[in-house]
Chains A and B, each alone.
Chain A
Amino acid sequence: MIEITTHQNYYIAKIKFAEANMEQSDLFKQEIINELDSGHTHILISFENVNYIDSSFLGALVTSLKHAMAMGGDIAVYGLNENISQLFELIRMNKVFKVFKDLPGSYQAGWIA
């Protein structure tokens, strides 16, 4: 469901499906939480493969972010298409998640672009 790679001092979780919806949200959330619990506390989620996202998946993202923050970590997002980017802006998820157009250089008390 997600492919984990490392980049500088954080982890990239690349979503491997095109429609991020209620069918994937529970398993996705569990996989991200497992990564966080294994010590990968700073995760950049890549949406490069994703065409659409729904409210269920957004809920899973927020749950994951809360879990990360409780551990002193953080979750950012990357590679949003126009459809998903508009949705993030519309409901102000761009104020909740740091949104990157390019891979950030590193994480040092905040994401460094």
Chain B
Amino acid sequence: MSIKKTFHFNNKSAEIFPLMNEIVSYIKDYVPALSNIERLIPYQHVLVELLTNAVKHAGADSSLFSIEITEKEVTIIKTDNGNSFYLNKCGSFPLHVSFEGQQVEIRKDALYCLYGIIHSAHSLVFKVVEYPLYFKEEVTSLYEHYGLLILIKSSNHVSYRIDPETGLNHFIVTIII
């Protein structure tokens, strides 16, 4: 079984929750295992963050959300023609080939370090490492950006790819059913 549907998003914040509900309803219809509402929560979190990212960071007027459902997993792909992903230590995609294979720190605070593992000049996979929080005072060092962290923690695999031919950006999030 493999089913695919694409949803258009106008990158307007008022449409985030209506579209999230529409896409979650679509996923639920095709995946009987997700009839329990609690099992849909990770999908809601992933979609809200991808939709929010489109509004805040894409620099594009619209984006596409493709949903691919197989017997084992659901893949959510956000596509737009806006700004490419930016890494502080490497710059914007496409990256120089010398970065290929490197694990690059994206952000680090008292709770988490987010990394990008660079697969090629056009793609990376995201990874997170957690740290224990020993003292409440460590809160003062926390970052205030949680979108990428929520994507990584709510799913099984998150990656970014820029199409070398079209320049389109793809955020790809996979959740094993």
Tell me the A residues contacting B by CB distance below 8 Å. 19, 21-23, 52, 54-56, 58-60, 62-63, 65-66, 69-70, 82-83, 86-87, 90-92, 95-96
CB atoms of B133 and A54 under 8 A apart: no
Stretch at the interface among B60-68, B96-104, B145-153: B145-153
Task: State whether A21 touches B133 (Cβ < 8 A).
Answer: no
Q: How far is the CA of A86 from the CA of B144 in the complex (A)?
A: 19
Q: Using CB atoms, name the residue of chain A closest to B151.
A: A55
Quick check: B139 and A52 within 8 Å, CB to CB? Answer: no
A95→B133 contact, CB < 8 A: yes
Chain B residues closer than 8 Å to A59, beta-carbon distance: 144-146
Chain A interface: which of B2-10, B40-48, B84-92?
A: B40-48
Pick out which of these stretches binds chain A: B49-57, B118-126, B159-167: B49-57
Query: Are B154 and A66 interface neighbours, CB within 8 A?
Result: no
Is there an interface contact between A21 and B17, defined as CB atoms closer than 8 Å?
yes
**Which residues of A have CB within 8 Å of B48?**
21, 52, 54
- A21, A23, A60, A96: which contacts B139 (Cβ < 8 A)? A96
Q: CB distance B52 to A54 under 8 Å? A: yes
With A19-B17, A87-B45, A91-B149 given, is the CB distance from A62 to B52 under 8 Å? no
| 29 A–B pairs (Cβ distance < 8 Å), ordered by A | A19-B17, A21-B13, A22-B55, A22-B56, A23-B13, A52-B17, A52-B44, A54-B49, A54-B147, A55-B49, A55-B52, A55-B145, A55-B147, A55-B150, A58-B146, A59-B144, A59-B145, A62-B139, A62-B142, A63-B144, A66-B140, A86-B38, A86-B41, A90-B154, A91-B146, A91-B153, A95-B111, A96-B111, A96-B139
Q: Are B133 and A96 in contact (CB under 8 A)?
A: yes
- Contact code string B17-47 (vs A, CB < 8 Å = 1, else 0): 1000000000000000000001001001100
Closest to B140 in A: A66
Interface string of B103-114 (1 = CB under 8 A from A): 000000001000
Query: Residues of B within 8 Å of A, CB-based: how many?
Result: 29
Contact partners of B140 in chain A: CB under 8 A: 66, 69-70
Report B121 CB to chain A, min CB distance, Å: 28
Contacts of B17 in A (CB 8 A): 19, 21, 52
Residues of A within 8 A of B145 (CB): 55, 59
Residues of the A chain whose Cβ atoms lie less than 8 Å from the Cβ of B13: 21-23
Bound-state Cα–Cα, A96 to B149, Å: 15
- Contacts A55-B145, A66-B140, A83-B41 given; indicate if A92 touches B111 (C-beta within 8 A): yes
Q: Bound complex: CA of A69 vs CA of B142, how far in Å?
A: 13
8 extra interface residue pairs, beta carbon distance < 8 Å, beyond A56-B56, A90-B153: A21-B13, A22-B55, A54-B16, A55-B147, A66-B142, A87-B41, A91-B146, A92-B133
